[in-house]
Amino acid sequence: MIAGPVAFLVAVAVAMAVTDQEPASVLRHLYLVPTLWAALARGAVGGGSIGAVAGLLHAPVALPAVERAGLTSATLDGLLSLGLPLVAGLLVGRLVDGSRARAARLAAVLAIQRGLDGAGALDDKLLSVAGELRAALGARRLALLVGTDVRTAQIASGPVGSLVDVGSAAAFALASGQRVSSLDLRADPRVRADEPPGPTPLRALALPLVSGVGVVGVLAVEWSGDLSRSTRAAADELALHVGLAVENARLTLRQLRFAEELAEKVAAATARLRELDQAKSEFLSVVSHELRTPLTALQGFSELLLRSALPPDKAHRCLVYLHTEACALGRIVGELLDLSRIEVGRPLELRPERVDLDELMERNVELFAAEHREHRFRWTPSGPAVTLRADPDALDRMVKNLLSNAVKYSPRGGQVSLSACPAEDQPGMVELAVEDDGVGIPPEQLPRIFDKYVRVPHPETATTRGLGLGLSLVKALAEAHGGRVEVDSLPGKGSRFRLLLPGVDRDF
């Protein structure tokens, strides 16, 4: 690109040497052509260089003329022609440089916006933007601090990473929102630099990145050597764009994260609804089965009583069966009523009174021991210090459900323990614990164990009857008493359910 102007320059010089030796020759104006050509092609450096060479080529014509004729208008004109190409080349070159700088700034702004756009980690984006900015500003070193606190801000820098001192100029710009400008950092009295001033000044700018929400970071730039006014203006302009672009990128990322979280939640809720739907279907099937069993017994024995004249002992046995199945049916209907009450949000009706815990535990243990002879039941008397005020019927149902649960999930038999004592880790609460050494509950099932219709699948308990309501009712009843129920379990080792209810001095 510079060969053309040089060739033109040489051609003009030769033409002047051959044709006209006068300092004010009209040919001298032709020196402006290659000068402006170079200025348009290479900016101030090209224009200035070719202009200087043009002056040098004209000097052997212009200077001797001064000696020959003294300072006349013609020789003065010749002397002015020495500097004119240089000045013209520099001025036009600067205009060209300014125009190119504006185009480069625009390109850098677009590159920054593209760099910060879309998905991806902000760290990587900032690194790419720092590289773009460094190239656009011709800086020796550049760093982008993004964040409102220098200790937690993300840093992207070129050419190498750098640690940030909390008392540094960049930290000051971030905290105060004021720009810091230095003509030579190493000689600046405000900067305690370890290195002495060098032969080339280290210009620096720390510009706050401002967005609609305030200062969101700092653009720190260091130049070795000159820093022109246009570069300074470019840094200001780019800092403005970077501030807005960074804030936009952060908002976009936040939006994307929010959308992802929302999608995850929707997916989880959908899955949960599917599970519930499936559980309800299973529940209906189980309920039908559970209702049909006692109903079948009721129908069968009542028909037998109606149609046959049974001896009194046989009739009595039938009546006992009828009563047992009617009670079972009543329990199922009671649980269903409680469930519907919970589902519609109506409070459970409780009639609290002082409860004899030992009597309740002994009665239930004896009842279960009589029905489940393959299990060993053990209960520990609570002693007089443990007193409880609760709805006796609700408490009885909670204990029965927990014992029933322990039995169901210990299909091979084993030990079931029942105990009551003051809760050591919960002052004012009474702990009623039911422990078994059955199949246990996998950890992933534990969070759902108190949900409605949930039955933990296990090959050994697949034939076990139940509605999947027992534990959810225990939870609802415990909470209605102002307490709660907890579980610890290990698969293959057993489970321990812990019912925590307020002691007698609590007002519930």
Partner 1 sequence: MLLLSAPFEPRAAAPPRQPAGAYAPVVGAVALVAAGGQGLEWLGAGPAGFGHALASGAIHGGWLALGWLLATGAAPGWSGPVLRLGGTMVVASIVARLGPLGPLAFLLVPMVLLGEARRWPRLRAIGLGGARPSHALAGLTLGAFLGAHLLVTASRTFGYRLQSSGLSAYLGALAYDVGANALTAEWLFRGAVFSLLWRRVTFWPAAALATGLSLLRYLLDPALPHAVEARVGAVFYLGLVGLIACALRAWSGSLVPGYLAALGFFAAYRTLAP
Which whole-number Å values give the CA distances from 483 to 404, 420, 477, in the listed order?
A: 21, 14, 8
Q: How far is the CB of 64 from partner 1 (least distance, A)?
A: 4
Q: Yes or no: say if 489 and 440 are a contact pair by the CB < 8 Å rule.
A: yes
186/341 with CB nearer partner 1: 186
Q: How far is the CB of 478 from partner 1 (least distance, A)?
A: 58
Around Cβ 158, how many Cβ atoms within 10 Å?
21
31/450 with CB nearer partner 1: 31
Q: How far is the CB of 51 from partner 1 (least distance, A)?
A: 12
- Region at 138 (left for phi over 0; alpha for psi -120 to 50; beta for the rest): left
Q: How far is the CB of 137 from partner 1 (least distance, A)?
A: 14
39/220 with CB nearer partner 1: 220
228/248 with CB nearer partner 1: 228
Q: Yes or no: say if 179 and 199 are a contact pair by the CB < 8 Å rule.
A: no
197/330 with CB nearer partner 1: 197
Up-side HSE of residue 452: CA atoms within 13 Å toward CB? Answer: 17
- Written as six digits, the tokens of 456 are 């933990």
Q: How far is the CB of 29 from partner 1 (least distance, A)?
A: 20
Give me the residues that bind partner 1 (CB under 8 A), please.
52, 56, 59-60, 63-64, 66-67, 70-71, 79, 82, 141, 143, 145, 155, 157, 162-165, 167-172, 176, 178, 180, 183-187, 189-202, 204, 206, 220-222, 225-229
DSSP single-letter state for residue 349? P
| Residues whose CB is less than 8 angstroms from the CB of residue 32 and which lie 6 or more positions away in sequence, other chains included | 54, 84, 85, 88
75/417 with CB nearer partner 1: 75
| Residues whose CB is less than 8 angstroms from the CB of residue 77 and which lie 6 or more positions away in sequence, other chains included | 23, 24
Q: Where do the DSSP E strands lie in 197-348?
A: 202-211, 214-224
35/410 with CB nearer partner 1: 35
Q: How far is CA 177 from the centre of its chain?
A: 27
